[in-house]
Structure 1
Amino acid sequence: MSRELYRVFIAVDLTDKLKDPIIRMQRDLMSAGVDMKPVEPENLHITLRFIGEISRELVEELKKRLSNVKYNQFTMHIRGIGAFPNIERPRVIWVGIEEGAKDLMNLHELIMKLTGDIGEKDERDFVPHITIARVKYVRNRDKYMKVVRKYESADFGIQLVDSIKLKRSVLTPKGPIYSDLMTIKLS
């Protein structure tokens, strides 16, 4: 008998108002010759913790533990563009968080305290960011860098963070499909 596994993560969703300028930037990057897979608008988010594939029982345990999250609402300010491993040789292009980054780091630490023994272990430091694209190849470096300079200190807007979500990710050939398993309201 096979047990169904759930691929899950904990995230902050973005408002549509913040998504619009990010979508414009994705289009600018693609028209500059960046061979990339943009993150679909409905999938733009900030990952607080990727948990990986776990059983239904562990999902229920996660929900129980996450119901203990107590954190105040805060404002985050989305600004600038960056890339992992670096902007010259991007594999992942992201948008940064200016104001609110410390709160996101505190939330991440709180979530790790509550759920760190469930799912995948992540040895990397938590860096609050919004992944906007996975890059295969940059065909025209000059055009690409021109777009980067245009957006390096771009102001994408402000959002109130009033909840976090436990999300499920179902991988498909067209990209992941996310669904909310739980919403945790911040006070």
Structure 2
Amino acid sequence: MRECYKGIFESKMSEQIRSFIAFDIQNENLINRIASVQKLLMQTNADLKLVAPKNIHITIRFLGLISPEMVDKVYEVMKKVKFVPFNIQLQGLGVFPTVNYPRVVWAGITLGAAQLRSIFEQLEPMLHDLGLAPEPEFNAHLTIARVSSGANKQRLVDFVTRHQEYEFGNIKANCLRLKRSQLSAMGPTYTTLKEYSP
């Protein structure tokens, strides 16, 4: 076991930290392919808010607001997760929760989905023991846009349906990160607090 990066964290911080555990997307070609699809999504004239390509990631577990003291406790939990670096294939488009009421546009995950679920299932009981509310459901995906209203909904749904098998590419999942999310009018800023690679 090794620490691949100790992260940026001030122990004197007193405010609650909005946080999540994730794998980052660090393949520039894949990020560019996602950005190209986002441009096509905007051409549907649906009311979308795109996720900035630099912010796209695979969320394993959203933690919500945690105390600075909890950061180290979550990190200790992360270091107990057993996995070996694995490949993830990003393929397909879809929406949550349904095509009749799309609120999120996502890129799908085929290869690697089982390993991601295993990591979630290892983390979940340990995070619950720390006092975090349970999150029983896990869907492996990348959020690439959020739907703000029903404007041109059918055009959006038609586009997503036509691209259900779209292939974005592959990434290597080798470093699990605890991320801080700071919200602003310009959109969220994500900072790595801790990293763990087995």
TM-score with structure 2 length normalisation?
Answer: 0.86
Deviations 1:10-35, CA, capped at 9 Å, x for gaps:
00111222211111111111111111
2:53 alignment partner, one of 34, 41, 48: 41
1:69 alignment partner, one of 59, 81, 91: 81
| Distance in 2 (alpha carbons) for counterparts of 1:57 and 1:22 | 36
Q: CA deviation at 1:62?
A: 1.2
Q: CA deviation at 1:65?
A: 2.3
Matched, 1:50 2:62: yes
| Distance in 1 (alpha carbons) for counterparts of 2:18 and 2:154 | 38
| Distance in 2 (alpha carbons) for counterparts of 1:79 and 1:119 | 35
Deviations 1:133-174, CA, capped at 9 Å, x for gaps:
110124334532442234211011111111110000011111
| Code of the aligned partner of 2:191 | S
* Aligned position for 2:167: 155
The answer (yes or no) to whether the contact 1:33–1:138 under 8 Å persists in 2 is no
Q: CA deviation at 1:122?
A: 4.2
| Distance in 2 (alpha carbons) for counterparts of 1:60 and 1:111 | 15
| Distance in 1 (alpha carbons) for counterparts of 2:81 and 2:164 | 34
Matched, 1:14 2:29: no
List gaps (5 residues or longer) in structure 2.
1-12
| Distance in 2 (alpha carbons) for counterparts of 1:128 and 1:77 | 11
Runs of 4+ aligned structure 1 residues displaced above 4 Å come to: none
Count of matched residue positions in the alignment of Structure 1 and Structure 2 = 185
- For residues 111 and 42 of structure 1, do their structure 2 counterparts lie closer, same or farther at Cα, with a shift above 3 Å needed? same
RMSD, matched Cα: 1.8
| Distance in 2 (alpha carbons) for counterparts of 1:129 and 1:120 | 22
What is the DSSP-based 3-state SS (H/G/I as helix, E as strand, rest coil) of the residue aligned with 1:77?
Answer: strand
2:42 alignment partner, one of 7, 30, 35: 30
Matched, 1:184 2:191: no
- For residues 120 and 29 of structure 1, do their structure 2 counterparts lie closer, same or farther at Cα, with a shift above 3 Å needed? farther
- What aligned pairs does 1:34-183 form with structure 2 within 5 A after superposition? 34-118=46-130, 120-183=132-195
| Distance in 2 (alpha carbons) for counterparts of 1:183 and 1:112 | 18
Percent identity over the alignment is 36
The answer (yes or no) to whether the contact 2:124–2:135 under 8 Å persists in 1 is no
Q: CA deviation at 1:89?
A: 2.3
| Code of the aligned partner of 2:195 | T
TM-score with structure 1 length normalisation?
Answer: 0.91
- For residues 140 and 72 of structure 1, do their structure 2 counterparts lie closer, same or farther at Cα, with a shift above 3 Å needed? same
- For residues 141 and 73 of structure 1, do their structure 2 counterparts lie closer, same or farther at Cα, with a shift above 3 Å needed? same
Q: CA deviation at 1:40?
A: 0.7
